Amino acid sequence: MKDEKLKILKFPDPRLRTVAVKVDKFDKSLENLAKGMLALMYKENGIGLAASQVDKHIRLIAMDLSEERNEPMFFVNPEYKIVDNHSTDSYEEGCLSVPGFNETITRPDQIELSWQDLKGNHHNIVPTGLLTICIQHEMDHLEGKLMVDYISPLKRDRIRKKLSK
């Protein structure tokens, strides 16, 4: 992948509904894509970006939850397990693919997370705080799911109309 210009797909672009495939090659092109996604995410003032959003349908996520924007994280082939289905948290989420809209979404807040880094090394943690929410939002993208799927059809339609203009 050379200096290809990455562009963020916007809802209701049907390509956002693609289910991403697992990464099995931890090579330079994966690293380049990850870096390109991170740069784009910083430029657009996002805190997370899934490869699906730039029309690359592999299981890769870039994220930075720090105030200073200097703690980049990459998740390759992430998976999570819900530890407690009854424990949830509501958060006003935004999405670079649904610009200009924030919606309060309730998600499980007790999860176990595992992933690989850009070198293919395995990691697992019990995430806390915003990471718990953000990783679920980004992993939805890898499944072709968007935050607008959590809101009422009426609201979703209103957003679709506004963004289709």
Which residues are catalytically annotated? 138
Query: Residue 39 is encoded by which pair of tokens?
Result: 């740069």
Nearest to Ni ion of 95, 159 (CB atom)? 95
Q: Interface with Ni ion by CB under 5 A: which range of 19-27, 57-65, 88-96, 150-158?
A: 88-96
- Taking the complex as a whole, how short is the minimal distance between the CB of residue 93 and Ni ion, in angstroms? 8
Neighbours of 17 (CB within 10 A): 14
- Taking the complex as a whole, how short is the minimal distance between the CB of residue 41 and Ni ion, in angstroms? 10
- Taking the complex as a whole, how short is the minimal distance between the CB of residue 107 and Ni ion, in angstroms? 13
Nearest to Ni ion of 120, 144 (CB atom)? 144
Q: Interface with Ni ion by CB under 5 A: which range of 13-21, 59-67, 90-98, 153-161?
A: 90-98
- Taking the complex as a whole, how short is the minimal distance between the CB of residue 138 and Ni ion, in angstroms? 7
Nearest to Ni ion of 26, 42 (CB atom)? 42
Q: Which amino acid is at 8?
A: I
* Among 47, 95, 111, 159, interactor with Ni ion by CB under 5 A: 95
**Nearest Cα to 147, choosing from 107, 108, 103?**
103
* CA quadruple 135, 51, 28, 79: dihedral, nearest 10: 40
Interaction residues for Ni ion, span 107-126 (CB under 5 A): none
Nearest to Ni ion of 34, 95 (CB atom)? 95
Residues that bind Ni ion (CB under 5 A): 95
